[in-house]
Structure 1
């Protein structure tokens, strides 16, 4: 007699019903196997808390469910979902915007018309940014436009949805990052330091706006005429430093119809970034078709319309079987994504269309972010924000996950994460735009002025092409007078 087990909750009962017709030893073996499977799932069943949605708040620290100094994978994913829920909740100071859009809580990274950093710290939203601010009136009648915000991180790849419209990006950050001097007197960014990056697509005729976090934007293809366009949020990066985790907890969320999995695609979904034909090629493992579709191979562009990109997700939940603690990681993500669903009602109903892809952190914060010290979704990448960086090879010299690009030095190492300019990629833009100078670590120890004249100009321009050496360098801390572990050069906006 055949048995069909349809879901985890009925595995045990199904096994017991199958005892008839097979010997008792085999039945006991089946029951033992099923019990172990159920126990494995239940051991990593990550629960949600209704208060995240009834009383949204930003968590200040990751729980330590396994004892002092020991957080479970679930603890990190609960931190991520609670943060996401708060950021997607309506602002109490201005209910017309969500918390992550509230300029009283977060500043927006602004750019000038030529793409150079603008002043993001002056609370005047008069530069080229992603969307119209409704929290404050537009100063001087300035129109907010977004032609500069179409490149991804890293190589600046540009992607287009199946309607041939470009994807736009926006960046917000916590207001404390404007106090450059104060932060640079510390080894690490203080707890609560937050960086956010959102990805947006133009909503087409077949898109239901109620299924997206939406925003109206003024798009100026020729920088003269403007048209108001409704955008839907398709990706959300969250990076938050806490007192116990100065490396930042890196989490990412996506819209559920962005792209299919490369190895097990659903063909009955109208994907935003994969055609029916190319999805079918994936399903059928049609080698020639897959090659012709050129999956995950975008290129830089300056056009607001272009050929539709073909994108698939290379690693579900940023993990591959065999990765460290694969089961705990993937099951924590999956069960929490499912367990938040009953709470996604009323204003939070739209969040049922989004899911947590994964998160990344380090195990021992005294050490750096080498792959052996990383935990969570080790191959984490967002399909619409890091399209071309999804082929994460954990054995490569450059591991193209979050820490591959955002290097953390560790609390016991000689460097400082606030002066290395490697952990945060926007800190220098904030400083340059607000006319503040940065202390940046030199690659070598400097012992003389002639050596400084050689090393410091390179140190500044390697951090940003907009920085120039101001003639200052030191091996001593300005705040304590103590010897610094590495020479720092003074760098100011060109």
Structure 2
């Protein structure tokens, strides 16, 4: 079964290989950072930092601004992976009421996909009605009915934003509307801003014997587009954690999944398989890409109930199993992700030990001033996600979450068509280009929630704003297919 964080043979691919980790740009040795995130001599100590993240009930917030590990002219991949797990643990640690911090409305706002504040009814912690998959207006994800005696359920999504980002978004929208900020600009969300997207399923989709392996809560859930809501027990199955740190206005795009969702694609065997039923994958084997191609008629994958993660940890491989030649060296980054998963999971004794980090994505901005960083993002526009040698993208270069980008993990129609020139990742759609006019660019346009809010403020209905976004995303898909 997937993702009990890989085998030791992968995670311990020589201690020396992790002791001298490859710098994401120059190949220099991993350094000791100024605060918190120190270089580690083995995978099992990647998360043993100061101040300690453990016990989980006391996880501190990651350092992100002046004096943090990111406040330097030369970074390493390791600190981005450490930030990602640190941020996830901080967001999921219990507050005074015993609930995860990210569901505390006084600390983190739930918002709609258009950045409007959501009122969460008393007796519930989250409101759910959105089922749309990334990149589509109508595509949805349904769970494997064989996982729980014939019960299939829809996957739902919630979006959460901290006050720092929310307040900045309102201000940027006002400035754009008044003309004090031009449509093309170098503005960026402040350090500390973060946005989350969380995937949930009704608890009824999960067998009783496994329900304790998931974080569960009571949601106000609508199955009819918000006409009516019912209090429903739901389980968390995936989360995007997207945040701004010093020198990285493009955000770090980190993603997490539950262990028992689906297998990774085996590129040497040209198949994905599981010996038992998982939440999103029917017991058996699927070959080729059909498991993650959407069928608009059946509203399932072309091969039903057999979706999979295209690349383990979002790190692309060739058909022979070797790593692709991309904008960074491997296997150092793969070892980073696998090692930190091993380290964190060995330290947790709560339900969050059943979740794993599936990688993150960012840009190489080393040595650039804040103005140059923003200018780089604007200049790259729709090419931010390029993964070819010499490009700026770093980390998981085919970063995706099987619960949210199920059917957009690639824009190709066959496995044989996937190569380094057309890898899909967060930056494929979350770029500096405006939905309304692609020639308008700004770092603040990376947030789709902000762009949708802006679209509504400009007089578009919810439906029209969604159509504008969908058109922009379809444009990206067409361009990717031409590469």
Query: TM-score, normalization: structure 1?
Result: 0.65
Partner SS, residue 274 of structure 2 = coil
Contact in 2 for aligned 1:74/1:332 (Cα 8 Å): yes
Displacement, 1:429? 3.5
Displacement, 1:370? 5.2
Partner SS, residue 158 of structure 2 = strand
Aligned to 1:449: none
Partner SS, residue 341 of structure 1 = helix
Bigger-Rg structure (1/2): 1
Aligned to 1:250: 253
> What is the rounded CA distance, in whole Å, between the counterparts of 2:143 and 2:432 in structure 1?
34
> What does 1:275-424 align with in structure 2 at a 5 Å threshold?
275-276=282-283, 279=284, 281-282=285-286, 294-299=290-295, 309-319=305-315, 320=317, 321-322=323-324, 323=326, 324-345=328-349, 349-364=350-365, 366=373, 367-368=376-377, 369=384, 371=386, 372-391=391-410, 393=418, 395-396=420-421, 399-408=423-432, 417=442, 421=445, 423-424=446-447
Contact in 1 for aligned 2:116/2:453 (Cα 8 Å): yes
Q: Which has the higher contact order (CA 8 A, sep 6+)?
A: 2
> What is the rounded CA distance, in whole Å, between the counterparts of 1:300 and 1:97 in structure 2?
38
Contact in 1 for aligned 2:313/2:396 (Cα 8 Å): yes
Partner of residue 131 from structure 2, selected from 129, 142, 150: 150
Q: 1:100 to 1:430 in 2, by over 3 A?
A: farther
Query: TM-score, normalization: structure 2?
Result: 0.66
CA deviations over 1:359-391 (Å, ceiling 9, x no partner):
000012632335210000101111110011212
Aligned to 2:192: 192
Aligned to 2:109: 107
Aligned to 2:277: 270
Contact in 2 for aligned 1:159/1:308 (Cα 8 Å): no
Contact in 1 for aligned 2:249/2:443 (Cα 8 Å): no
> What is the rounded CA distance, in whole Å, between the counterparts of 2:14 and 2:254 in structure 1?
28
> What does 1:158-237 align with in structure 2 at a 5 Å threshold?
158-163=140-145, 164-176=152-164, 177-180=166-169, 182-183=171-172, 187-203=187-203, 204=205, 206-207=207-208, 208-221=210-223, 227-237=230-240
Query: RMSD of aligned C-alpha atoms?
Result: 3.8
> What is the rounded CA distance, in whole Å, between the counterparts of 1:243 and 1:66 in structure 2?
6
Q: 1:389 to 1:464 in 2, by over 3 A?
A: closer
Displacement, 1:155? 1.4
Q: 1:429 to 1:83 in 2, by over 3 A?
A: same
Displacement, 1:220? 4.0
Contact in 1 for aligned 2:18/2:336 (Cα 8 Å): no
Q: 1:301 to 1:357 in 2, by over 3 A?
A: farther
Displacement, 1:353? 0.7
**Count of residue pairs the alignment pairs up:** 368
Displacement, 1:96? 4.2
Partner of residue 40 from structure 1, selected from 6, 13, 17: 17
Aligned to 2:415: none
Partner SS, residue 47 of structure 2 = coil
Partner SS, residue 428 of structure 1 = helix
CA deviations over 1:401-445 (Å, ceiling 9, x no partner):
111111148xxxx976256x3x11001344567xx569xxxxxxx
> What does 1:407-446 align with in structure 2 at a 5 Å threshold?
407-408=431-432, 417=442, 421=445, 423-431=446-454
